[in-house]
Structure 1
Amino acid sequence: MKGVVRKSKFRHVFGQAAKNDQCYDDIRVSRVTWDSSFCAVNPKFVAIIIEASGGGAFLVLPLNKTGRIDKACPTVCGHTSPVLDIDWCPHNDQVIASSSEDCSVMVWQIPENGLVAPMSEPAVELKGHSKRVGVITWHPTARNVLLSAGCDNVIIIWNVGTGEAMITLDDMHPDMIYNVCWNRNGSLICTACKDKSVRVIDPRKEEIVAEKEKAHDGGRPMRAIFLKDGKILTTGFNRRSERLIALWDTKNFEEPMTMHCMDASNGVLLPFYDPDTNMVYVCGKGDSSIRYFEVTDEDPYVHFLSNFVSKESQRGMGYMPKRGLDVNKCEIARFYKLHERKCEPIVMTVPRKSDLFQDDLYPDTAGPDSALEAEDWFEGRNGDPILISLKNGYVPTKSRDFTVVKRNILDAKVPKSTENSSSAQNASFQSDAKLEEILKEIKSLKDLVGSQEKRLVTLEEQMSKLAI
């Protein structure tokens, strides 16, 4: 039976690179030696970390703005040092977070139709790390919850709506944190650390739930991601610098369920997971291929399907959420591959003859609505992703501003398109507040003068009596 080819509807998935006119050309992709993906995409925009003089910057381009990108194209340029990581908010397609070597995390609201001028003022600036911040990731189901991990070995979970650091995990990692991943409902996180350990942490209880020391023996960076059933998939190296992919059951962390040796290379493997199809795509930095696997309950659990190979190596990779794909073309994944000077979309397709909607390829997927508000999650509640059907394709709705019970810093920050209409109202509100403050000060001064006058009168009366 070993020779029998395993049946799978994804066995013939093929990748296809976009034509030149559908690429984004003349982009100076960042040269920072950091193992993040350097690219983030959603159904509206593609964001790419670029080389910038005098600080850190990244491009935000509408998906349809393909072709040669003008050198004068406006950027998001508020950081004073190179940007290391970017991540789009899953609940608002106009909100993106960035982290930098300047120890800060910034959250930006992008105007609905993209940037028309350079953006240097973030909606919220989050300061709490003492060293560069290399990892950021939004909570999958709770609005306004953002996690950051820095080279100070500290993880901070923020309420972005109020700009507060709500949870600080500063004594769990003895060395640099390579990556952090939320589980399906955001109740747990898993981390990969330079000490070669993979940890499962309950962030609200601030305790380590499970830990595997020396998950991979090699000294090169590794990655760990949650799968939808709670298992953990890791990519890393052994002592011979061979690249590995392994699957772990957190209830029995001693031995991996399976471990594949892929090849011998020094490029860090970035895994991207699709919970709808249970497929994992593995892209190596500096490689020219994307390997894809299917995870099942049958031994050997992680089944190699195929790989997409191109001529040029990749500097980074962006992964489109499921709701941004073209269901009419049986597209099950889309990557945005960064070259040295361009970004190239790569489409993964299942070959099907029928023009009908393929229910088996597109089960209901996570939509843009959040299941919880930030306060609900910090109080201990959990919520599974709110699913949407892709039967008629995903139609982006107008993104809502952040809304929280407390005063929301982001409510005062509006996209450029609505800035002019509300500027007069804001100015009026500010002048009213200032006038009220001045009137209060005048009243307190009057009261002070009145009390001093009374004191003078009594002193004069006492002096007149002494004179008599």
Structure 2
Amino acid sequence: CSSPQEGSSLSSPTSSLSSPSSSAPSLSTTSPSQKSLQSILGPSSKFRHTLGTVLPRGTHITNLKGLNLTTPGESDGVCANRLRVAVPLLSAGGQIAVLELSKPGRLPDTSVPTIENGTPVADFCWDPFDLQRLAVAGDDAKIRLWRIPPGGLQETLLEPEAVLRGHTEKIYSLKFHPLAADILASSSYDMSVRIWDLQAGREELCLRGHRDQIFSLAWSPDGRKLATVSKDGRVRVYAPRQSPEPEQEGPGPEGGRGARLVWVCGGRYLLVSGFDSRSERQLYLSDAASLAAGPLAVLSIDTAPSTLIPFYDPDTSVVFLTGKGDTRVFVYELIPEAPFFLECNSFTSSDPHKGFVFLPKTECDVREVEFARALRLRQNSVEPVAFRVPRVKVGGIGLPGLHGGLSQESPSPEERALPCCLPHSLRG
């Protein structure tokens, strides 16, 4: 790694829970009668009756052929924005199919146009600021940036828009900055996290301190910090603009089979999914300001081979968790005090999904009290799944007892951005 440059840019099986008490205020308010009931039964989630529903067949993309089922554990295996879904294919050359969500139905029996990377694909993700740009990490330690034509792929793309070089070994994962355009983070088998300025086409920062494989990385909601979880059982938090070394470090999952992490509750906590020493899937909730103290709570889920991939909805503080090859999506509401995890109805299907990815909140049908929408990748199809709450306030938009209801438009990253959050070279 090179040194940072001056001014550089930047319902479910029975689960067990252990947690110390916290003095943090609750996110919700309850009536005296509810408090009395909660003192007997414990708190319950306002989303406990969440219903996950596969939408009608007319919304599905079918006849998908040659899906690659062996993507690395660090990759979600599928990614989507409001326009398109990208899925890896088993064909030689690291091909990725890019499917238009506005054109559901049966794909042709002949092959569809693809992106051809020329090397096996390790991870891929859409740019949240540029819906036509897809970043792809390869086994050859390069990151390729592809531009999709506005109407979708009409022919196979062979030449990327740009290629980023800097890692010395295979790349694990990619994550775009949540607030600053043209900023991308990547992790690699060379045990570094590198932050790229896509506008300049170069590496700007290299974060050090990892002693083993990096399982997952995540930007904080304000974009100031970046967290990682590694095979060495450690969770690390970096402030990239201050230092290439971690500013905090604490214990993570004991098992070395895989892990994921995400910032929750406005960036106050880190939620880590992983395995214990007996290969049981667990969730670990840690205070992001005091990682060394260890987790505030540990929730045992079940025993299964795949790592639980968390998707956190900041509007409702609900987290969805599922793994590649699972038939179930676990759902919990998170609150900033014990017991921290409030269980909700899970979504189950008769056959395993190969991937599960959530769409922007703008794709939710608020008239149907829908607060999250996902795409379920099966071996031969892509199916939309809607998550709804079965009670509504008159008017169809607000949800009684929820955190401010649902808005029809979630703010874009640009609308949420603050100058103090952006790397120096990208400030206006």
Q: Does 1:10 align with 2:50?
A: no
Cα offset, 1:246, TM superposition = 1.5
Which residue, out of 179, 182, 197, partners 2:234?
A: 197
Contact map agreement 2:231 2:258 (CA 8 A) in 1: yes
Contact map agreement 2:368 2:396 (CA 8 A) in 1: no
What SS does the aligned partner of 1:208 have? coil
Aligned to 1:166: 204
Contact map agreement 1:142 1:371 (CA 8 A) in 2: no
Aligned to 1:22: 59
Q: Which sits farther off after the overlay, 372-381 or 94-103? A: 372-381
CA separation of 1:286 and 1:3: change in aligned 2, threshold 3 A: farther
List per-residue Cα deviations over 1:13-60 (Å, max 9, x = no partner): 10011333322222222122411111111111111122222x112111
Q: Does 1:334 align with 2:373?
A: yes
Q: Does 1:76 align with 2:115?
A: yes
Q: Distance in 1 between matches of 2:236 and 2:199?
A: 28
Counterpart of 2:83 in structure 1: which amino acid? K
List per-residue Cα deviations over 1:145-190 (Å, max 9, x = no partner): 0111111112111111110111112x31111111110001110001
What SS does the aligned partner of 1:233 have? strand
Aligned to 1:361: 405
Counterpart of 2:355 in structure 1: which amino acid? G
Counterpart of 2:234 in structure 1: which amino acid? S
List per-residue Cα deviations over 1:99-143 (Å, max 9, x = no partner): 111211111221212111111221111111111112001000001
Which residue, out of 233, 249, 261, partners 1:211?
A: 249
Contact map agreement 1:32 1:82 (CA 8 A) in 2: no
Q: Distance in 1 between matches of 2:421 and 2:323?
A: 38
Q: TM-score by structure 2 length?
A: 0.83
Q: Distance in 2 between matches of 1:313 and 1:352?
A: 29
Q: Which sits farther off after the overlay, 318-327 or 304-313? A: 318-327
Q: Does 1:154 align with 2:192?
A: yes
Cα offset, 1:63, TM superposition = 0.8
Q: Distance in 2 between matches of 1:50 and 1:2?
A: 52
Aligned to 1:433: none
Aligned to 1:447: none
Q: Does 1:379 align with 2:390?
A: no
Q: Distance in 2 between matches of 1:342 and 1:56?
A: 20
Aligned to 2:354: 315
Structure 1, gaps ≥5 residues long:
383-404, 406-468
Cα offset, 1:201, TM superposition = 0.8
Q: Which sits farther off after the overlay, 94-103 or 155-164? A: 94-103
Which residue, out of 136, 141, 146, partners 1:108?
A: 146
Q: TM-score by structure 1 length?
A: 0.76
Contact map agreement 1:29 1:338 (CA 8 A) in 2: no
CA separation of 1:139 and 1:223: change in aligned 2, threshold 3 A: same
Q: Does 1:250 align with 2:288?
A: yes
Cα offset, 1:361, TM superposition = 2.9
List per-residue Cα deviations over 1:314-335 (Å, max 9, x = no partner): 2222111212222222211112
Q: Distance in 2 between matches of 1:92 and 1:212?
A: 35
Contact map agreement 2:71 2:77 (CA 8 A) in 1: no
1:248-287 correspondence runs (5 A):
248-253=286-291, 254-287=293-326
What SS does the aligned partner of 1:225 have? strand
List per-residue Cα deviations over 1:358-387 (Å, max 9, x = no partner): 2733157331536669998332889xxxxx
Which residue, out of 359, 362, 385, partners 1:346?
A: 385
What SS does the aligned partner of 2:41 have? coil
Q: What number of residue pairs does the alignment pair up?
A: 379
Q: Distance in 2 between matches of 1:266 and 1:380?
A: 43
Counterpart of 2:349 in structure 1: which amino acid? S
Q: Does 1:324 align with 2:363?
A: yes
Which residue, out of 203, 210, 216, partners 1:179?
A: 216
Counterpart of 1:98 in structure 2: which amino acid? V
List per-residue Cα deviations over 1:371-426 (Å, max 9, x = no partner): 669998332889xxxxxxxxxxxxxxxxxxxxxx9xxxxxxxxxxxxxxxxxxxxx
Aligned to 1:92: 130
Which residue, out of 38, 48, 51, partners 2:87?
A: 48
Counterpart of 1:269 in structure 2: which amino acid? L
CA separation of 1:204 and 1:349: change in aligned 2, threshold 3 A: same
What SS does the aligned partner of 2:131 have? coil
Counterpart of 1:112 in structure 2: which amino acid? P
Counterpart of 1:366 in structure 2: which amino acid? P
Counterpart of 1:107 in structure 2: which amino acid? L
List per-residue Cα deviations over 1:238-270 (Å, max 9, x = no partner): 111111012101233223111111111221110
Q: Distance in 2 between matches of 1:374 and 1:85?
A: 30
Counterpart of 1:357 in structure 2: which amino acid? I
Contact map agreement 1:107 1:123 (CA 8 A) in 2: yes
Q: Distance in 1 between matches of 2:294 and 2:413?
A: 37
CA separation of 1:193 and 1:37: change in aligned 2, threshold 3 A: same
Q: Does 1:223 align with 2:263?
A: no
Aligned to 2:333: 294
Q: Distance in 1 between matches of 2:237 and 2:130?
A: 28
% identity of equivalent residues: 30
Counterpart of 1:193 in structure 2: which amino acid? S
Select the structure that is richer in helix.
Answer: 1
Q: Distance in 2 between matches of 1:31 and 1:176?
A: 22
Larger Rg: 1
Q: Distance in 2 between matches of 1:203 and 1:380?
A: 14
Counterpart of 2:236 in structure 1: which amino acid? R
Contact map agreement 1:143 1:370 (CA 8 A) in 2: no
